[in-house]
Amino acid sequence: MTRILRLLIILLCSGLVLGGVLYGCGKKGDPRPSGVAPPKAISDLKASLVDYGVVLRWTIPDAKDGIQRYRIERSELRAKGTTCPDCPLEYAVVADIASNDPKLAKEGANVVIYLDSGIKAGYLYTYRVIICDLSGICSQASNIGEVVVGPDYPRGKEGSGKK
């Protein structure tokens, strides 16, 4: 009897371990609580070149969403001689900034303006912005804002690199 009992215990333990492994594998659920929607993505991002950098301007999709932060991302490619024009862009975070930070300018209630002064002559810059709300849930990336900085920007000088 002890041999049968031992075999049953081994089979039971093996089944529990196998069941735990199989139950723990597979697609994980969305960590966001059900019924909580992410903020709406920005759809009107515009980038324009000025003498002191690139000005980004966008409209907050819904001002009552409780926006906490903006994550501004930039891709940088040489304007001429790019080795892979069809490759996907690689973005780096330029700023992860609170919505009430003085580096952001406001125009009215819904328009936000940010200056990226860390640009160099002879590059193509592509920007996108992601909104994060008070609970840390973030939107999809915005539309793309793009600027080409000529080789003589500005009049033979490069941007200061300060943000």
Question: Measured between alpha carbons, how far is residue 17 from residues 13, 26, 32, 54 in Å?
Answer: 6, 16, 29, 57
| Strand order, beta sheet including 46-50 | 46-50, 53-59, 111-116, 105-107
pLDDT higher than threshold 50 for residue 76? yes
Question: Measured between alpha carbons, how far is residue 80 from residues 85, 128, 150 in Å?
Answer: 10, 22, 10
Domains and CATH numbers, the chain: 46-148 (2.60.40.10)
What six digits make up the tokens of 161? 């690199």
pLDDT higher than threshold 50 for residue 163? no
What per-residue confidence (pLDDT) applies to 33?
64
What per-residue confidence (pLDDT) applies to 87?
75
Determine the Cα–Cα distance for residues 62 and 131; give it in Å rounded to an integer: 11
Determine the Cα–Cα distance for residues 24 and 67; give it in Å rounded to an integer: 35
- Quote the percentage of the chain above a pLDDT of 70: 78
What per-residue confidence (pLDDT) applies to 53?
94
**Amino acid identity at 78:** R
In the block, tokens 């991002």 appear at: 45
- Quote the percentage of the chain above a pLDDT of 90: 42
Question: Measured between alpha carbons, how far is residue 156 from residues 50, 96, 121 in Å?
Answer: 14, 30, 8
45 band by pLDDT with thresholds 50, 70 and 90? very high
4 band by pLDDT with thresholds 50, 70 and 90? confident
Question: Measured between alpha carbons, how far is residue 13 from residues 5, 7, 18, 22 in Å?
Answer: 12, 10, 9, 14
Q: What is the mean pLDDT of residues 111-129?
A: 94
Residue with the bigger pLDDT between 129 and 156: it is 129
